[in-house]
Chain A
């Protein structure tokens, strides 16, 4: 069946942070698409059909009946979605595509390096792995400026308690004394990534976020000696 562009109503919106919103788009009745966790959809408003933006799905393929994207107030589309999208609004959705897909194999370890809203596809990875009770190890290494910028903090902490194979680690690049942050500070660096790699041959690396972070992650991983096939990236541009 050809994948068709569908108009979907906003079913739910959730402010994750003051500048970041999750938008749930309800599938039409009878719609039952085949898609993969980690793919992205492309959205546009009915009144601006030439103006499209792609967003990674923050929901996983086991979440049926809707797609969720988690959007930062960024640019014209990001601002409109965060500040104005409300329940009942309709958006056109180009179906999920993309190859930023988790390799769910029991002996594998997925090391997921994220910056800012680049963490959103990893929520989907962990959700699916947790619900399916998979033995695949998943470690998220997440870089934010301050603790208040952590997206899905409580959901990731909750998933950690449900899934013994999942670990969520955060580093703050600009933590202030008043943040009372007791976790790691500074940028993602090679030593921090290396710390989480026990068996390089069975580790898959994922990086999603601003280009400098993703390029840095790629360089680090190749320096480790991992082949290209063990690294997947999603750049924002």
Chain B
């Protein structure tokens, strides 16, 4: 059973987004517990460059497991302001802590309205249960 934290928003392509009141305008992005479970052991992560401007839905990172390689899509439009180098050095961290230490990048988003089009935890859970 995958963990779907209630404080996150989700995409159909299995990214999560966290926005907290203490850092408004900045979203942290990672891949979901369900995604890491389906991918199995993650062995390589490629992250976007800091300063890169992205549109919502654009492919911006790559994650590779022992079984497959997948693109990671940016949930929101904006500019990359920080990346998590820990997962480059230790890709398995994404498997161990997908919603915390295994985050991918932080983005300064340019259109807050896009947050409303992301999936709620309930909708995402329904999607992965099929």
> Of the candidates B40, B62, B130, which one forms a contact with A237 in the assembled complex, judged by CB atoms under 8 Å apart?
B40
A237 contacts B70, C-beta separation under 8 Å: yes
User: What residues on B are CB-neighbors of A77 within 8 Å?
Assistant: 44, 64, 69
Nearest chain-B residue to A53 (Cβ)? B66
Is B110 close to A, CB under 8 A? no
Q: Is B27 at the interface (CB under 8 A from chain A)?
A: no
Q: Does A235 contact B67, Cβ atoms closer than 8 Å? A: yes
Is the CB of A182 closer than 8 A to any CB of chain B? no
Interface flags for B42-63 (1: CB within 8 Å of A; 0: not) read: 0110100000000000000010
Interface residues of B in 19-52 (CB under 8 A from A): 38-41, 43-44, 46
Output the least CB separation between B24 and chain A (Å): 35
Check A211/B38 contact, CB under 8 A, given A75-B62, A76-B44. Answer: yes
Number of interface residues of A (CB under 8 A): 17
User: A105 → chain B, closest Cβ, in Å?
Assistant: 29
Q: Which residues of B contact A215 (CB under 8 A)?
A: 130
The answer to whether B65 has its CB under 8 Å from any CB of chain A is yes
Supposing A53-B43, A211-B38, A237-B39 touch, asked if A75 and B66 sit within 8 A by C-beta, the answer is no
Is B43 a contact partner of A237 (Cβ separation < 8 A)?
A: no
Interface residues of A in 68-117 (CB under 8 A from B): 74-78
Binding site for B on A (CB under 8 A): 42, 50-54, 74-78, 211, 215, 219, 235-237
The 7 closest A-B pairs by CB, nearest first: A75-B69, A236-B68, A237-B39, A237-B68, A75-B64, A237-B67, A54-B66
